[in-house]
Amino acid sequence: MNFTIAAFYRFVSLPDPAALRDELRAAFSEEDLCGSMLIAGEGVNGTMAGSAETIERLLDMLVEKTGLDRADVKFAHSEERPFGRLKFLVKSEIIAFRKAKVDPTQAGNYVQPQEWNALIADPEVLLLDTRNHYEADLGTFNGAIDPGIETFSDFVTYVRENLDPAKHRKVAMFCTGGIRCEKASAFMLQEGFSEVYHLKGGILKYLEEVPEQDSQWHGTCFVFDRRTSVGHKDFEAE
């Protein structure tokens, strides 16, 4: 079987996350769907795999229930089942940021993949990798700073101890699929940084849409499934 893999997130107020979990379980427990989805009062975050038809049904349901923008979904394919189980989990956050309370709906400026190279070429821009250090070890963008963090919540400490809103006036950040840097950009705005940008769709969307010959990415991108990491070649048209 050829599995379609869909990675997505959506920050949106959900008054009853448990009810949505129960609806999803009822709709897909007998299907070929696998992977994990986190559901919280702030939205949904998941990477799921299944037949093309099952993934379409799932996305249709998420569009209806959460307002998910299908254009923001990152797709990949695998000839092997990439996840062992199917999990719909209710959490307090869809991406843990324990050391600061953040309103993720008040995020920084989106930058489309096609515009990213021009932004990070600006010498006044501080380019931050918001991922964990072991992810940055596999690959990153030219000129990016690796904060060396163990968990995403450590990003709060790094920013407060190492960055200054008065000195670092333009900050651009990136992560795997866009969710971490979106929440991190909201945090930095709360901390007083005036110009904050983040890569829309994350590294995965960049690898998908920017040709390798024009790319400022080096190495591979760590992913949280059995593929381990992906690069430009994984998004080439067949």
How far is Cα 187 from Cα 169, in angstroms, rounded to an integer?
A: 15
Each residue of 62-89: b (16+ CB within 10 Å) or e?
beebbebeeebbbebebeeebbeebebe
Is position 221 annotated as part of the catalytic site?
no
- Closest by CA position to 112, among listed 58, 67, 178, 55: 178
How far is Cα 211 from Cα 237, in angstroms, rounded to an integer?
A: 11
Contact criterion met (CB below 8 Å) for 55 and 48: yes
Catalytic one among 34, 175, 181, 221? 175
Active-site residue list: 175
